[in-house]
C-alpha cells in the first residue's frame, strides 16, 4: 500500500484566496477534482495584506482536511512568491464594483492589477503556465494580463465563461426535464457580461436515449430567443439579489470544470465555452480580443470549433457583445499606456 510512486507536484496559484469563491474552490483543487486523483499539488494562495489573517484561517482548514494530494500550502501577499514556477494560475481576485462606481473607474483599477499580475507571470512563472482569469471584467482583465506577459503564448490565457455555459445548459435541461449532462454543445459567445450571447442553435438534448436538437426538444422558440437568453445573461445579478452575495459555489464549480477540461481535454463531439484569444477565428470577430467561443481541447491545447452556421439572429448578438469588448479593450489600453 505504501509504495505508490507519485508524480512531481504542480504549483497552482489562486488569487483573491481569502474570498468566498476561493473558499468554495480550494477544497476541490486540493482533493484532486481538477488536476487528477494522482497529481500532488502545491497550493499558492495570494491576497492583499489586510486579508492575510483570514488567509491563515483558510490554510488551517486546508491542513485540517488532511488531503493526501496537498503537499504544501503557501499563503502570501508578495507576487514574487505567488507567481514563482507556476503550472496553473487562477486569477480570482479583482477590484469589485462599488456602488456609484463608473465602469471606466472599475476598468482603470483592474488594468493596474492585471498589468502587475501579467508582469509577474512574465517574470516568475513557467512559460507553459495555464492562466484562467475569473475576476471581472474577466475578458478585458485577461487581455491586459496577456499583453503584460509577452513571452507566454496568448493561447495560455483564458477567461471564465463556463459559469454562463453551465447556467445555459442547466436552463435547457430543466425545461426539457432531463439531467444537465443530457444537454451538450450550448455556446456562450462574447463577453462575460450582460451582452453575452447564450446560443443553443447547435445544442443537442438526449431525450429518452435519442439525441434531439435543442429547439426541437424545448418546443418553445420564443422562450429560447427571449427569456432563456436574458435569464442566463442576468443570472449573476439575480443571485446577488437573492443571496446578497455574488455566485461562489457555482463559480467555483465552473472554474473546476474549465481547468479540468483544459488539463484533460473535451469529449469527442463536444465543445465547451471559453474566453480565448480571438486571433485567426473564422466567425468574423475582431482579432485582438479575449472572446468566448466554442472550443474543443486536446493535449492541453484548445481550438475554436469552426464552421458552425450563424444565422442573422445570432450574428447581431455576436457582433453586439464584440462591440462592447472592443470598447472595453480600447479604454483599458488607454489606461495601460499611461
Give the catalytic positions in this structure. Answer: 192
Whether 136 has a binding-site annotation, put simply, is yes
Whether 103 has a binding-site annotation, put simply, is yes
Contacts of 310 (CB under 8 A, 6+ apart): 283, 318
Whether 47 has a binding-site annotation, put simply, is yes
Whether 329 has a binding-site annotation, put simply, is no
Whether 141 has a binding-site annotation, put simply, is no
Sign for the pseudo-dihedral over CA of 63, 15, 147, 275 = positive
Tell me 167's DSSP state. Answer: H
Is residue 201 within 8 Å of residue 185, measured between CB atoms? no
Q: Are strands 41-46 and 290-298 parallel, antiparallel or unpaired?
A: unpaired
Is residue 289 within 8 Å of residue 278, measured between CB atoms? yes
* Distance linking the first and last C-alpha atoms of the chain: 59
Whether 186 has a binding-site annotation, put simply, is no
Three-state SS sequence of 322-333: HHHHHHHHHHHH
The binding site comprises 47, 97, 103, 110, 134-136, 167
The binding site for substrate comprises 97, 103, 136, 167
The binding site for NAD(+) comprises 47, 110, 134-136
Amino acid at each position: 500500500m505504501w509504495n505508490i510512486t507519485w508524480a512531481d507536484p504542480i504549483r497552482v496559484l489562486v488569487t483573491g484566496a481569502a474570498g468566498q469563491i476561493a473558499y468554495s474552490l480550494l477544497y476541490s483543487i486540493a482533493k484532486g477534482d481538477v488536476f487528477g486523483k494522482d497529481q500532488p499539488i502545491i497550493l499558492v494562495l495570494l491576497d492583499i495584506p489586510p486579508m492575510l489573517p483570514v488567509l491563515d484561517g483558510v490554510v488551517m482548514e486546508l491542513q485540517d482536511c488532511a488531503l493526501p494530494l496537498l503537499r504544501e500550502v503557501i499563503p502570501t501577499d508578495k507576487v514574487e512568491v505567488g507567481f514563482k514556477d507556476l503550472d496553473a494560475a487562477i486569477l480570482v481576485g479583482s477590484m469589485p464594483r462599488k456602488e456609484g462606481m463608473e465602469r471606466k473607474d472599475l476598468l482603470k483599477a483592474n488594468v493596474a492589477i492585471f498589468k502587475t499580475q501579467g508582469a509577474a507571470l512574465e517574470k516568475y512563472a513557467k512559460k507553459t503556465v495555464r492562466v484562467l482569469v475569473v475576476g471581472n471584467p474577466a475578458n478585458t482583465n485577461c487581455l491586459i494580463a496577456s499583453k503584460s506577459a509577452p513571452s507566454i503564448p496568448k493561447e495560455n490565457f483564458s477567461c471564465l465563461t463556463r459559469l454562463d455555459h453551465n447556467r445555459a445548459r442547466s436552463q435547457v435541461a430543466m425545461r426539457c426535464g432531463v439531467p444537465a449532462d443530457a444537454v451538450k454543445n450550448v455556446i456562450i459567445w462574447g463577453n462575460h457580461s450582460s451582452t453575452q450571447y447564450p446560443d443553443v442553435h447547435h445544442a443537442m438534448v438526449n431525450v429518452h436515449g435519442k439525441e434531439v436538437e435543442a429547439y426541437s426538444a424545448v418546443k418553445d422558440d420564443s422562450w429560447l430567443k427571449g427569456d432563456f437568453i436574458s435569464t442566463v445573461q442576468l443570472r449573476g445579478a439575480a443571485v446577488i439579489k437573492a443571496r446578497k452575495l455574488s455566485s461562489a459555489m457555482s463559480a467555483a464549480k465552473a472554474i473546476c470544470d474549465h481547468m479540468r477540461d483544459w488539463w484533460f481535454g473535451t469529449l469527442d463531439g463536444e465543445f465547451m465555452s471559453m474566453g480565448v484569444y480571438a486571433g485567426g477565428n473564422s466567425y468574423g470577430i475582431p482579432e485582438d480580443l479575449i472572446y468566448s467561443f466554442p472550443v474543443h481541447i486536446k493535449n492541453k491545447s484548445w481550438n475554436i470549433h469552426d464552421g458552425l452556421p450563424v444565422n442573422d439572429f445570432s450574428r447581431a448578438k455576436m457582433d453586439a457583445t464584440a462591440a462592447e469588448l472592443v470598447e472595453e479593450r480600447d479604454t483599458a489600453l488607454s489606461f495601460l499606456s499611461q
